[in-house]
Amino acid sequence: MLAAALGIAAVVPALGGSASAAAAPAVTLVGATGSGCPRTSVTASGDENGAIVVRYQQLAVAGTRQTQCTTLLRVGVPEGWTYAVPGTVWGGHAVLSADTTARLTTRTYYAGGAGPPAVRTGVTGLVGPFRWEPQFAPDTLTFHPCDAKRDLAVAVGLEILGAAESRISVATLELSPHDLLWKRCPTR
């Protein structure tokens, strides 16, 4: 529905001539940086449809602290196409007392460029696993520059305001080419 309103392809472009003869673009892990993701603590696995699940072993915060991680992903962009990231999917676990708030913040941008403003949420009293699916405002979406090779940066921050015994962790980031908004680059 959002894709149609923006005049954007709702399907993933195929590489080559026909959709049935080619594979979907793939998403791969390039690296990660930040206090919440030391070099060897981030891994990724992909599937046959080009999707990726990034796993974080140490992206966690307890007490009244904060941490962050920026993950660099490479999206295989078929020639003549561009994409925007309308949202992200995060999974994790929390143990928050009733008087404690955890703040989660995320944003995306292309290496060397700007992106939509960050999306923030606060949760209180959550105990157990969670899935957070923030969406960026449609009028703020930034498309990958046509004829450029820039990695996608996906940043997340965690902060706890309240009880010292509370904690929250992010275990996964999921991204698939099917989750992206695709459109053709302008012809010159």
**155, 68, 69, 150: which is closest to 111 by C-alpha?**
150
Does residue 16 form part of some domain?
Answer: no
What is the extent of the structural domain holding 112? 2-9+25-181
pLDDT of residue 47: 81
d(CA 129, CA 146): 39
Q: Coil, strand, or helix at residue 10?
A: coil
Does residue 19 form part of some domain?
Answer: no
Q: Tell me the pLDDT tens digit for each residue of 11-25.
A: 344 433 333 223 467
d(CA 69, CA 72): 10
Is 0.85 topped by the overall pTM?
no
Does residue 57 form part of some domain?
Answer: yes
d(CA 116, CA 107): 7
d(CA 29, CA 117): 23
Structure tokens at 132: 């957070």
CATH number for the domain spanning 115: value is: 2.60.120
Q: How many distinct structural domains can be found in the chain?
A: 1
d(CA 161, CA 2): 35
Q: Which amino acid is at 165?
A: E
Q: Could you read off the pLDDT tens digit of each residue along the chain, which spans 188 residues?
A: 333 333 333 334 443 333 322 346 788 899 999 999 998 899 999 888 788 899 999 999 998 889 999 999 999 888 899 999 999 999 999 999 988 999 999 999 999 887 788 999 999 999 999 999 999 999 999 999 998 889 999 999 999 988 778 999 999 999 988 889 999 999 86
Does residue 104 form part of some domain?
Answer: yes
Distance from CA of residue 179 to its chain's centroid? 10
